[in-house]
Amino acid sequence: EAQLVQSGAEVKKPGDSLKISCQASGYSFSTYWIGWVRQMPGKGLEWMGIIYPGDSDSRYNPSFQGQVTFSVDKSINTAYLQWSGLRASDTGMYYCARPKDVGQYGAFDIWGQGTMVIVSS
């Protein structure tokens, strides 16, 4: 059974760096894109971008370009989302998700449980 398991909740201060993880199991990790989706408190879903584990090709939503970085470690089937300087506005729930079909950027049918990130001084 395909599954994505994310790292636990984080509480950070503005300016801190952070890297959260998303570990895949039950399918060929290198074959499917992995997307990241943000939900700010009380708000809707936002497509942040997507990374292809096979070659680390990444596509960023312009709204997030330069604010976050995607990476993967194929040896442990894990994708990462990182920030180098958090802001209070980065507070939210972050989901990793896998598209239903190989080669697609959406129609995510496998989701991680979410990682809550709180940025507060």
Footprint of other proteins (CB under 8 A): 37, 44-47, 49, 59, 61-63, 95, 97, 100, 104-109, 111-114
Residue position matching structure tokens 């497509």: 47
Cα separation, 44 vs 16, in Å, equals 25
Angle (nearest 5°) at CA 70 between 118 and 14: 30
Closest separation between CB of residue 11 and other proteins, Å? 19
| 68 in Cβ contact with 48 (< 8 Å) | yes
CB of 92 to other proteins, least distance (A): 14
Nearer residue to other proteins within complex by CB, 73 or 109:
109
> Between residues 42 and 121, which has the closer beta carbon with respect to other proteins?
42
Characterize the bridge pairing of strands 69-73 and 57-60: unpaired
Nearer to other proteins, 83 or 108 (CB): 108
Query: Taking the mean position of all CA atoms in its chain, how far away is CA 84?
Result: 15
Nearest distance in Å: CB 113, other proteins: 6
Minimum distance of other proteins from residue 67's CB (angstroms): 14
| Shorter beta-carbon distance to other proteins: residue 16 or 69 | 69
Pairing label, strands 78-83, 92-99: unpaired
Retrieve residue 87's tokens.
Answer: 């802001």
